[in-house]
């Protein structure tokens, strides 16, 4: 399984590297106020992918913090509660007399 994982990673790298080499022509990206950026297409795509991933991580950051606080609170409650009494499922039960 370890070798299969590395083979898949190598295949993805080769495909992405080939994409970058075929799209190495510089393009102009025009912003507001007359500012332009001249870079290869693959680099521009990579930059905007990283920016999008960063925004996605920032968007989920608040929920992660809230869930961690809830987990800490639940662990505190769990420590202060007394253990539950032994349930009847833990005891050995005999079969009913009318069982087939």
Extents of the domains making up the chain:
17-80
The conformation of residue 1, written as its DSSP 8-state character, comes to -
pTM to 2 decimal places: 0.57
What confidence score (pLDDT) does residue 74 get? 92
What confidence score (pLDDT) does residue 20 get? 81
What confidence score (pLDDT) does residue 92 get? 64
What confidence score (pLDDT) does residue 58 get? 95
> Model confidence over 48-95: pLDDT tens digits?
999 999 999 999 999 999 999 999 999 999 888 877 666 665 566 677
Contact 48, 40 (CB under 8 A): no
């Amino acid at each position: 399984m370890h070798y299969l994982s590395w083979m898949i990673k190598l295949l993805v790298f080769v495909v992405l590297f080939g994409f970058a080499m075929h799209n190495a022509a510089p393009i102009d990206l025009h912003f507001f106020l007359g500012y332009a950026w001249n870079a290869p297409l693959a680099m521009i795509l990579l930059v905007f992918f990283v920016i999008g991933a960063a925004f996605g991580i920032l968007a989920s950051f608040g929920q992660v913090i809230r869930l961690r606080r809830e987990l800490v609170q639940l662990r505190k409650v769990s420590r202060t509660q007394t253990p539950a009494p032994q349930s009847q499922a833990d005891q050995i039960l005999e079969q009913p007399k009318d069982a087939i």
